[in-house]
């Protein structure tokens, strides 16, 4: 069972997640971080940037791999995940830009980009800690419902619901790309530590299905049930449909009392 932490709000969640990242960085200055985009991880990145400054951590050797990228959008496009990762993670934390990668969504033979990315992750020694969000339809990264549980980085079509959810980042829904390149569920499972965040009532059904329903390709986020070290951080609204929310609160309180 994943460790489930229920907190008051996104700020507390960001602080909790950042503390996990800090522990990895203290023990491994060249840690490999798996980086998600979207609104969910923003408080984590802000808290982590503050912690890096507070603790005086040297992050110049930290490596990073983004979860996904839109297909057909050049890296310099403001909504490319290369641009987003640079502005929200690389610059605030002071990471070395050349050590942070995103999947290649443009260029010749883009069909080979998935295999290239898999090789790059393996060459870096694998991802130490991977931050994740979950979509309202249960997707993680851009692995839509029906994705193979053993899938690797590859090109995928985006579901209509995912495109609608992401339209807020574009000037119009028509501008949201229809395809992407994404780490697969099997790729994500190889990370040593998964940290999944979810906030708000809109995410509550997907969270409940992922944590308490069957492990299924229909709910890609359910793979966290199979991972040996998965931490799930939720606000009260996202946790509102969990049958075992009280158990998670009790377990968390018990652990805190032993410290």
pLDDT of residue 254: 55
- Give 3-257's CATH code, choosing from 1.10.730.10, 3.40.50.1360, 2.60.120.20, 3.10.580.10: 3.40.50.1360
Contact between 166 and 178 under an 8 Å Cβ cutoff? The reply is no
pLDDT of residue 253: 66
Q: How far apart are CA 258 and CA 41, in angstroms?
A: 29
pLDDT of residue 250: 84
pLDDT of residue 257: 52
Lookup: tokens for 151? 């899938």
Cα 142 to the chain's mean position, in Å? 10
* This prediction's pTM: 0.93
User: Which residues make Cβ contacts (< 8 Å) with residue 57, sequence separation at least 6?
Assistant: 22, 25, 26, 29, 51
Burial 162-193 (b: 16+ CB within 10 A, else e): bbebbeeeeeeeeebbeebbbbbbbbbbbbbb
User: Which residues make Cβ contacts (< 8 Å) with residue 179, sequence separation at least 6?
Assistant: 70, 71, 72, 155, 156, 157, 158
CA separation, residue 53 to residues 57, 89, 93 (Å)? 7, 14, 8
Question: pLDDT (tens digit, 0 to 9) for every residue of the chain, 259 residues total?
Answer: 789 999 999 999 999 999 999 999 999 999 999 999 989 999 999 999 999 999 999 999 999 999 999 999 999 999 999 999 999 999 999 999 999 999 999 999 999 999 999 999 999 999 999 999 999 999 999 999 999 999 999 999 998 988 998 898 888 898 899 999 999 999 999 999 999 999 999 999 999 999 999 999 999 999 999 999 999 999 999 999 999 999 998 877 655 554 5
Phi/psi-derived region of residue 72, left when phi > 0, alpha when psi is between -120 and 50, beta in every other case: left
Residue among 183, 200, 172, 84 nearest 127 (CA):
183
Neighbours of 243 (CB within 10 A): 9
Say which DSSP state 225 is in.
G
Spell out where 1-118 has E strands: 3-7, 32-35, 63-66, 68-70, 100-101
Q: How far apart are CA 3 and CA 151, in angstroms?
A: 24
């Amino acid at each position: 069972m994943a460790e489930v932490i229920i907190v008051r709000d996104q700020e507390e969640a960001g602080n909790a997640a950042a503390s996990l990242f800090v522990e990895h960085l203290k023990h491994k200055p060249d840690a490999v971080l798996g980086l998600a985009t979207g609104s969910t991880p923003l408080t984590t990145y802000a808290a982590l940037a503050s912690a890096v400054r507070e603790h005086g951590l040297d992050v110049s050797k930290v490596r990073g791999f983004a979860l996904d990228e839109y297909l057909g959008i050049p890296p310099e496009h403001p909504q490319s995940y290369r641009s987003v990762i640079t502005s929200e993670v690389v610059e605030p934390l002071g990471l070395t830009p050349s050590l942070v990668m995103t999947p290649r969504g443009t260029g010749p033979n883009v069909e080979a980009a998935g295999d290239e990315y898999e090789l790059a992750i393996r060459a870096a020694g694998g991802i130490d800690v991977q931050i994740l969000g979950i979509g309202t339809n249960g997707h993680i990264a851009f692995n839509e419902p029906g994705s193979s549980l053993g899938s690797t980085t590859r090109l995928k079509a985006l579901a209509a619901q995912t495109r609608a959810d992401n339209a807020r980042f574009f000037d119009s829904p028509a501008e949201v790309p229809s395809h992407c390149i994404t780490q697969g569920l099997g790729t994500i499972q190889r990370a040593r530590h998964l940290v999944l965040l979810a906030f708000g009532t809109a995410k509550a059904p997907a969270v409940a299905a992922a944590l308490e329903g069957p492990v299924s390709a229909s709910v890609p986020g359910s793979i966290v049930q199979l991972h040996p070290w998965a931490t799930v951080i939720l606000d009260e609204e996202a946790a509102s449909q969990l049958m075992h929310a009280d158990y998670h609160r009790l377990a968390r309180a018990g652990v805190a009392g032993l410290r």
